[in-house]
Structure 1
Amino acid sequence: MKLRKMWLNINGAKRMVVCNPEKDSLADVLRRMGLTGTKVGCNTGVCGSCSVILNGKVIRSCVKKIKTVEEYSKIITIEGIGTPNSLHPLQVAWMNCGAVQCGFCTPGFIVSAYGLLMENDNPTREEVRDWFQKHRNVCRCTGYKQLVDAVMAAAKVLRGEAKIEDITFQLPEDNECYGKPLVRPSALSKVTGLADYGDDVELKMPAEILHVAVVQPRVAHHAKILNIDSSEAEAMPGVVKIVTHKDIEGTNVMAEANLHERSTITLPSRKVLADDRIFRYGDVVALAIADTKDHARAAAAKVKVEIEQLPEYLSYLEAVMPDAMRIHEDTPNIVAMQPVLKGAGLEDASRVVEVMDNSPYSVEGSFYSSREPHLSIEGDIVQAYFDEDGFLTFQCKSQGLYTSISRIGNSIGVPMDKMRIVQNFTGASFGWSTNAGDLCLAGAAAVAVKRPISLSMSYEEHQHFSGKRCPCHSNGRVACDEKGKITAVEFDFGMDHGAYSWGADHVIEKPSRFAFFPYRVPHVAGLTRIANTNHNYGTAYRSYGSPQAYTLSEALMDMLAEKIGMDPFEFRWANIARPGDTNINSCSFKEYPMEEMMEKMRPYYEKAVTEAKEADTPEKRRGVGIAWGGFNVTEGGTDQCTIILELASDNTIIKYDTWQEMGQGGDIGSLMVTLEALKPLGITRDNIRLEQNDTKICPDGGMSAASRSHYMNGNATKIAAERLMNAMRKADGTYRTYAEMVAEGIETRYEGKYECTATPGITRLDPNTGIGDPTPAYTYVLNLAEVEVDTATGKTTVIGFTCVYDVGKIGNIQAVNGQAYGGISHSIGFALSEDYSDVKKHKNIAASGVPYIKDIPDKINLIPCETIRPDGPFGSSGASEAFQSSGHVAVLNAIYNACGVRIYEIPAKPEKVKAGLDILAKGGKIEPPKKYFLGSDLYEELENIKANPVAFRGHEMFEALGDSPDQKFF
């Protein structure tokens, strides 16, 4: 190896570097110097997180080879733009405009914006958007609007038109903080590039750390493993060990819940390291452990895997054919089913057909929603080591620290009570990190060598390894009377859960709850089925399971409105649930904000329709689409959250919790509910210290999922705060200090535990009828999309989006709106471009269709509707997931409104829309997909379920399992 010494001017100072000119990128060199504010996400130059300024020009340093950098070049990184004690206006604006969420892309965006303002300190919003598009800066969290807001605010300061104070949120004098846009506690470290994410932690670990690379054969989706030959790999330089399934000290089987009464699963299906079979393209068969990352990767490439190809079933439709072989021997490929019956359907499912046949109007259709990839900018990296107490410690990205321990289970030979999980700064997840497969790999490596390790996947490895949103095929029909009132619906969903079953029993609830939400539907016959295939496994993704439902129901609502000659907005107005109406599960909606939300939306809708008609041309067709959506709050009857509040010796309050911060605001959310709960003490944010996301010191707060965190943590915080304040309160109504508490022998540390069982009537869905009320609250959204379709290419551009939402009383307006903007951007991507179906093509975020800034409109209107939740903390509910539930259907409905092309199978890529336009241009008719074969006739299956009922256990099901993770999981 021949090295090169060179001088560079970095952030104004002359620095000497030594590099490998044939291998090193500029990002490699900067990060080795400790300038880890330069983040590396995709490592292929398509995400912009590594942006730096080289000789006055913004470049992506991950693909800039150091050998092409001239000596004495001038380089500016985020560390040279501003420090915590001397912030640049861009950094201040980023914190105060809600532009910081997970923060991984933040340094790259700020550096890129700095380069823009060096050239033009008075840009228009469109010039800012053009700049970020040109430099390939991607944000997956924010939806981009807030980033443009921040650039415009900072530019005003630079031009002397505003002061820093003018763009900084000022705390109100009355200290009423709830609902206000308080800046996130983590924002400062993120905007200055000082937040250490997984790869940064790896660089700063002790020198003794070993590096782990995965062996993903990527030769087949389904195969027998005949032999794994690691002999050549073991002889490679720096190799310490090649780990296969034979070296794992535990069961090598990941723990899997199996809670649905109709589940056919008898054995857990996922191995830590594949032993006899490969079930999907991303399976890992071995781990290469070496002294450097390069040596580990080189060794991993030398592991030889001999296979025998097996039949591959890459979609639900293939896996449920009568002649398909079982993917897992213990269960048919359809692993669970959840029926829904209401009204006439409860007496006899076939009577729903009679109601529809006797209704004057009905429409039917078959739809497909795709295997949507999460596409977080940061990939997957985990550190594992034995700490000073002998605990196997993981530093990682996890949406559920305690849940991850349960999911690791006994798989790697370490007792669960001897595991500890610490969350690193996290570059988003959106759901994929609810699965602990990466932790199992890292833990197995650490146990095998009894040394600290760091497991780092390339983005492509992560893309193939991590789960995806379940694809879903669906058939449905809806009918109405002469006045446009829905009379009955039927639906049949077939969800593709991929190679592994964990979570399948839970996700099938969602279409069975959110199809035709939030409408009044008197008669229902529905079924959700879920199957294993040989594609990537299904896992949590924001609005887990409900987008598949809305893909069907909100399209059918538009189709029926058209058939009866009714405006789609007015058709929905006629059918929304009013107080006293029940959902398709025969239970109350709990809240009824629907009329108010539609009244708020009405002027926006009418204006959008008028503007679309005025701007419509044969070349650029304009259209408007609308879609209702919503989601549940909490994980239901077994959900609990525990937090601890402690009065410290300096009279500040320490809060311990595991509100996992994924970018959604786990830190600011925890701070907001604590400030509100302790308001009688008159404390400020400076009096509260958050100790979060370390299972050694923090109690189990549950997952950052199911829109539950604010609701559950807030209620637990209220309980703990009341206990603490009761202990501090003197007879005269004032409060004791820490010294007074100690002197009087009064405890200064109090736990608050909140359980969903505190809300009466919570019960699982009946496995025979679908009747049930699994969660204590809901969130609601009403989406409006404005699109333009280029008739020459079929390309759809979303030019405007409006969302009316109700999440109860808002805790922090910037955090909630941030989730809204981000969810809308994901919805647009889901509708138009995002996909993970072709494993050879969809390797990175760009190839998988991630939306860049010009794919998302700058015109986004967010309109809150705050209906107080009496059981929620301070009137709040949850947030996040409703914002990604149905926005994609608003886009699809808008495409049809614009040009007459209805997209039944997403994504609506330009070639698909263009093909439809060509058919219409020739006077033809677009034929919808034929009814999908989902395993059996809907009504035959419902009759079979009726003839073979299973016990509905409700809470008893969970109570019988006990509290131990060993009892809850295999």
Structure 2
Amino acid sequence: MAFRKMWLKINGANRIFICDPAKDSLADVLRRLGLTSVKVGCGTGVCGSCSVILDGQLIRSCTRKIAKLPEYSEVITLEGIGTPNNLHPLQVAFMKLGAVQCGFCTPGFIVSSYALLLENADPTRKEVRAWFQKHKNVCRCTGYKQIVDAVMEAAKVVRGEAAMDAIGPSFSTEDGYYGKPVVRPTALAKVCGLADYGDDQELKMPADTLHVAVVQPRTAHHARILEIDISEAEKMPGVKKVILAADLKAAGGTNIMAEGQMHERTTVMAPSREVLNEKKIYRYGDVVALVAADTKDRARAAAAQVKVKIEQLPEYLNFLEAVMPDAERIHEDTPNIFCMQPLLKGAGLEEPSKVAGIIDSSPYSVEGSFYSTRQPHLTIEGDSVQAYFDEDGFLTFQCKSQGIYSSIGRIGNSIGIPKDRLRVVMNPTGASFGWSTNAGDLCLAGAAAVVMKSPVSLSMSYEEHQHFSGKRCPCHSNGRAACDENGRITAVEFDFGMDHGAYSWGGDDIVTKQPRFAFFPYYVPHAAGLSRIANTNHNFGTAYRSYGSPQAYTLSEALMDMLAEKAGIDPFEFRWRNIAREGQTNINSYPFRQYPMEEMMNIMRPHYERAVREAKKADTREKRRGVGLSWGGFNVTEGGTDKATVAIELNPDGTFTKYDTYQELGQGGDIGSLMLTLEALKPLGVTPEQIRLVQNDTRLCPDSGMSGASRTHFMSGNATILAAEKLISAMRKPDGTYRTYDEMKAEGLETKYFGTYSNTSVPGLCRLDPNTGIGDPTPAFTYCLNLAEVEVDTATGKTTVLRFTCVSDVGKVGNIDSVNGQAYGGISHAIGFALGENYDDVKKHTNIAASGVPYTETIPDELEVIYYERPDESGPFGSSGASEGFQSSGHMAVLNGIYNACGVRVYEMPASPEKVKAGIDILAAGGKITPPKKYFLGSDLYEELENIKANPVQAGPEDYFVPLGSGTAERFF
């Protein structure tokens, strides 16, 4: 190893450093020099988060080897563009126009934008988007619209056409702050590159911190482990220990992650997921050992030397393979299909097969079989965890987690530390979208810290993270739907087969989502359905925005379009006739808690009519134009036992401290909490500067629950109101004025008050009956009506989404920029889901680009979200949930648009150019596209429903079945 002394001119100053030319990239060197605005996401040059300007050219520094740089090359990083006390117009615009969400990609985007404006100070929006496409700048959060908005506004200032203080919207706070575009509290640090994410924290850990690398054999999806040979790895330089399952057990851990039973029909009686796999490999990403060394590079080098001898076992890589009669059990103690949730309504409740008779006798009926893919989350930041024993002896994790309290519950006893001695703290986080609800990475880092009795940092490469983290469950489905001569639905039947991969945790919860959201929000008088979920040898299923509902809409929104066509009714009109009206019940036999559907369709109607006119006018043989619709939505909160606690404290200087676990993953946990607190303390005339947020540390903050199920703003908001009411009541004097801190203390009054809100206060909530699917689990819904305008190139089959419009009901909008960001981001994920995102081929889908992440030119610049702000009766200040509805069904608007454009219905996602082109060619030759045969999902639908009817299970008590995010309250085996 030969080191080299080198000079670079960085941000205007000559800097000297020592490097290893054979290994170091420019990103490595810059980060060692403390310039951690340079983020490394993918590590392969496909995400743009490491963008810097080198000798006047924009480059991706993670792939530029230092050996190829001439000495004294000039480098500009974000630190050289603007600082907190001297901001560049781009930084101001990104903050004020909502272009900052998780913030991990933000430095790269600002540097890229700066390079663009140096070259072209007056770009068009199309040129801005083309620049980002060319330089591979990816944002997974925003859908790009707000980023382009920010560049266009900043360019005006750069050209001297506007003043800096003119950037962004102006608004009055005379009536308060709620609903206004208040800037996120964390935005300044993010636009200046000063937010320290996981890998930044690792660089700043104490010198004696050990670095941990994972050993993933990646030789098979299913195998028996015969031997793990660590002899060569142990001899490698800097290696302190190679940690195996036996070492963790010797340190007092069980090596088994905790799992909770959540459904009466689950056959999973004991948790089975190991922290370190000891006897078997169940999927490609399993970890069998950890290497602890004095540097990250040495740990990874040694991990590569661990040899794993295996015996290959049968591999079942999808639901259909795993449920075949001759398939072996993946986990010996449970059948591969480990849970089912039926749905019976109307005639189906009397006798399931009567539904088939109604469909058969209806004037119009359609049927189809569909498949939705294993969608990867594709966050730009991967996985990095620090673990150490703090000053009070708590094993502390600094990490990415959507539920810091629930993470403690999921760690359980696996690493040998009592749960009441675990502390979880969120690092600044580069998004999650659901994968960090799982605590497997914390267990790995905790195991290393416990065995080594040392602070550790675990940082996975992006490929390691891609194979380790869970994914959206793929789903096969069969369905039929029928309507009368007036186009009103008479009955539906459906059968879902969910692939939950190697591990079952959470599967018995997600299986309840398809029987809730198939044919939402229509009125269906008669229904028979079943959702089944199975283990396979692919990556495990985990939470992902709109958890479980996209699979439902993949079937139901296709059938709605097919049935409209069969009945000869316009698809918009068909949906208008079938949306539920006041008093009509949802598919689970309860009234909808809200009925915004008519008004939302009235709002959408002119947009739809315009889109149809324009599509007809622009349609050509070479470029076919189409319009697609889809209804969607999602539940708000985790159900009847969901609860949240927050605290608000009056400080000596008259400011207030808010304590909560509104986990900030980019969705707006910081600004959401701030907006709620401002509104709750409105009688005191509080301003944003008077509120300090202390968030997401289990040692300091009460449990507000997890950031998921579109619950946090709703639950934490109601808890904030209760805490604020207590504090304001204590501060209020008899004359109506308010006590100061000193006066409170002088009178012996508390200055810190807790508020706890529980859904037990909402009347009528009940879980789905495990025998019928009848139930009303959550107090509110979000609603989305989507319109996609698409163009299909008949020569290539490539689909371009030209414009996307969404009419949404999220109740009262708390912060418009934040909710817009969730909307645009969710829509971008939905478009990616429709057209290309996939994690199926483990050898191919190793990074975000190979897995189909949408770059700027995949997502339309014309994204329009229209809010029908119907105040929610039970939500805080009229707000409901926000995020997940936007990703529930947008993919079906795109797929329905493709069919409308060129006659090709994509039954099996994604709608790749090759697949669409093949369909076009079949039609051009006079052929007919043959839909997939009915999928075999384990047994006949009605046979299984009759079996369930003959063998009912007793519903458990409400307090036994607890929500996913309630952490220490969960019941574990």
TM-score range, shorter chain: over 0.9
Does the C-alpha gap of structure 1 residues 727 and 101 become closer, same or farther in structure 2, counting only changes over 3 Å? same
**Cα deviations across residues 854-883 of structure 1 (Å, max 9, x unaligned)?**
000001111100111111100110110000
Q: CA deviation at 1:959?
A: 8.2
Cross-structure match for 1:142 = 142
Cross-structure match for 1:922 = 925
Structure 1 unaligned blocks of 5 or more: none
Cross-structure match for 1:188 = 188
CA contact (8 A) 1:763 1:954 kept: no
Q: CA deviation at 1:22?
A: 1.0
Q: CA deviation at 1:814?
A: 0.6
**2:716 alignment partner, one of 700, 713, 736:** 713
CA contact (8 A) 1:764 1:954 kept: no
1:585 and 2:588 are equivalent in the alignment: yes
**1:399 alignment partner, one of 397, 402, 411:** 402
User: In structure 2, the residue corresponding to 1:635 is in which secondary structure?
Assistant: coil
Greater Cα shift, 539-548 or 171-180: 171-180
Cross-structure match for 1:907 = 910
Greater Cα shift, 945-954 or 301-310: 945-954
User: In structure 2, the residue corresponding to 1:127 is in which secondary structure?
Assistant: helix
Q: CA deviation at 1:957?
A: 3.0
1:272-421 to 2 correspondence within 5 Å? 272-421=275-424
CA contact (8 A) 1:179 1:813 kept: yes
- Give the whole-Å Cα distance in 1 for the aligned partners of 2:563 and 2:955: 35
Code of the aligned partner of 2:331: H
Structure 2 unaligned blocks of 5 or more: none
- Give the whole-Å Cα distance in 2 for the aligned partners of 1:218 and 1:341: 43
Cross-structure match for 2:11 = 11
User: In structure 2, the residue corresponding to 1:642 is in which secondary structure?
Assistant: strand
Greater Cα shift, 169-178 or 717-726: 169-178
User: In structure 2, the residue corresponding to 1:63 is in which secondary structure?
Assistant: coil
Cross-structure match for 1:805 = 808
User: In structure 1, the residue corresponding to 2:898 is in which secondary structure?
Assistant: helix
Cross-structure match for 1:764 = 767
**Cα deviations across residues 337-380 of structure 1 (Å, max 9, x unaligned)?**
00010000110001111111111000000000000000000000
1:457 and 2:467 are equivalent in the alignment: no
Greater Cα shift, 41-50 or 258-267: 258-267
Cross-structure match for 1:522 = 525
**Cα deviations across residues 484-514 of structure 1 (Å, max 9, x unaligned)?**
0000000000000000000001101110100
Cross-structure match for 2:100 = 100
**1:862 alignment partner, one of 857, 865, 875:** 865
Cross-structure match for 1:174 = 174
Cross-structure match for 2:700 = 697
- Give the whole-Å Cα distance in 2 for the aligned partners of 1:600 and 1:304: 62
**1:754 alignment partner, one of 753, 757, 773:** 757
Code of the aligned partner of 1:172: S
Cross-structure match for 1:513 = 516
Does the C-alpha gap of structure 1 residues 771 and 138 become closer, same or farther in structure 2, counting only changes over 3 Å? same
CA contact (8 A) 1:7 1:17 kept: yes
CA contact (8 A) 1:477 1:491 kept: yes
**Cα deviations across residues 532-552 of structure 1 (Å, max 9, x unaligned)?**
000000000000000000000
**Cα deviations across residues 111-136 of structure 1 (Å, max 9, x unaligned)?**
00000000111000000011001100
Q: CA deviation at 1:173?
A: 4.4
CA contact (8 A) 1:384 1:394 kept: yes
- Give the whole-Å Cα distance in 1 for the aligned partners of 2:130 and 2:69: 26
1:462-501 to 2 correspondence within 5 Å? 462-501=465-504
Greater Cα shift, 301-310 or 174-183: 174-183
- Give the whole-Å Cα distance in 2 for the aligned partners of 1:183 and 1:303: 49
- Give the whole-Å Cα distance in 1 for the aligned partners of 2:315 and 2:961: 36
- Give the whole-Å Cα distance in 1 for the aligned partners of 2:397 and 2:959: 34
What CA RMSD, in Å, does the superposition of the two structures yield over aligned residues? 1.2
Code of the aligned partner of 1:604: H
- Give the whole-Å Cα distance in 2 for the aligned partners of 1:603 and 1:861: 14
- Give the whole-Å Cα distance in 2 for the aligned partners of 1:958 and 1:297: 42
User: In structure 2, the residue corresponding to 1:671 is in which secondary structure?
Assistant: helix
User: In structure 2, the residue corresponding to 1:461 is in which secondary structure?
Assistant: helix
Cross-structure match for 2:634 = 631
**1:609 alignment partner, one of 591, 612, 619:** 612
1:893 and 2:899 are equivalent in the alignment: no
Code of the aligned partner of 1:751: F
- Give the whole-Å Cα distance in 2 for the aligned partners of 1:963 and 1:32: 40
**Cα deviations across residues 611-633 of structure 1 (Å, max 9, x unaligned)?**
11111111111100000000000
Cross-structure match for 1:35 = 35
User: In structure 1, the residue corresponding to 2:62 is in which secondary structure?
Assistant: helix
- Give the whole-Å Cα distance in 1 for the aligned partners of 2:146 and 2:738: 41
CA contact (8 A) 2:546 2:634 kept: yes
Does the C-alpha gap of structure 1 residues 903 and 960 become closer, same or farther in structure 2, counting only changes over 3 Å? closer
- Give the whole-Å Cα distance in 2 for the aligned partners of 1:966 and 1:416: 12
1:247 and 2:233 are equivalent in the alignment: no
Cross-structure match for 1:792 = 795
User: In structure 1, the residue corresponding to 2:958 is in which secondary structure?
Assistant: helix
Q: CA deviation at 1:953?
A: 2.4
CA contact (8 A) 2:810 2:879 kept: yes
**Cα deviations across residues 378-406 of structure 1 (Å, max 9, x unaligned)?**
00000000000000000000000000000
User: In structure 2, the residue corresponding to 1:968 is in which secondary structure?
Assistant: coil
Cross-structure match for 2:53 = 53
**1:574 alignment partner, one of 550, 561, 577:** 577
- Give the whole-Å Cα distance in 2 for the aligned partners of 1:896 and 1:966: 48
- Give the whole-Å Cα distance in 2 for the aligned partners of 1:489 and 1:733: 60
- Give the whole-Å Cα distance in 1 for the aligned partners of 2:839 and 2:348: 37
Code of the aligned partner of 1:178: Y
CA contact (8 A) 2:642 2:962 kept: no
Q: CA deviation at 1:965?
A: 3.6
User: In structure 2, the residue corresponding to 1:660 is in which secondary structure?
Assistant: coil
CA contact (8 A) 2:104 2:429 kept: yes
Cross-structure match for 1:833 = 836
**Cα deviations across residues 932-969 of structure 1 (Å, max 9, x unaligned)?**
00000000000000000001225153489999948601
Does the C-alpha gap of structure 1 residues 159 and 966 become closer, same or farther in structure 2, counting only changes over 3 Å? closer
CA contact (8 A) 1:634 1:706 kept: yes
Q: CA deviation at 1:526?
A: 0.5
Greater Cα shift, 399-408 or 240-249: 240-249
**2:540 alignment partner, one of 533, 537, 541:** 537
Does the C-alpha gap of structure 1 residues 896 and 958 become closer, same or farther in structure 2, counting only changes over 3 Å? closer
Cross-structure match for 1:160 = 160
Code of the aligned partner of 2:163: K
Q: CA deviation at 1:474?
A: 0.2
**1:668 alignment partner, one of 646, 671, 686:** 671
- Give the whole-Å Cα distance in 1 for the aligned partners of 2:728 and 2:147: 40
Code of the aligned partner of 2:86: S
- Give the whole-Å Cα distance in 2 for the aligned partners of 1:301 and 1:274: 17
User: In structure 1, the residue corresponding to 2:18 is in which secondary structure?
Assistant: strand
Sequence identity percentage: 74
Greater Cα shift, 900-909 or 8-17: 8-17
Cross-structure match for 1:622 = 625
CA contact (8 A) 1:175 1:684 kept: no
Does the C-alpha gap of structure 1 residues 967 and 604 become closer, same or farther in structure 2, counting only changes over 3 Å? closer
TM-score when normalising by structure 1: 0.99
- Give the whole-Å Cα distance in 2 for the aligned partners of 1:913 and 1:459: 31
- Give the whole-Å Cα distance in 2 for the aligned partners of 1:202 and 1:270: 27
CA contact (8 A) 2:641 2:963 kept: no
1:653 and 2:635 are equivalent in the alignment: no
- Give the whole-Å Cα distance in 1 for the aligned partners of 2:272 and 2:932: 33
CA contact (8 A) 1:785 1:802 kept: yes
Q: CA deviation at 1:640?
A: 0.8
- Give the whole-Å Cα distance in 1 for the aligned partners of 2:91 and 2:963: 53
Code of the aligned partner of 2:567: I
- Give the whole-Å Cα distance in 1 for the aligned partners of 2:692 and 2:147: 28
- Give the whole-Å Cα distance in 2 for the aligned partners of 1:118 and 1:958: 58
TM-score when normalising by structure 2: 0.99
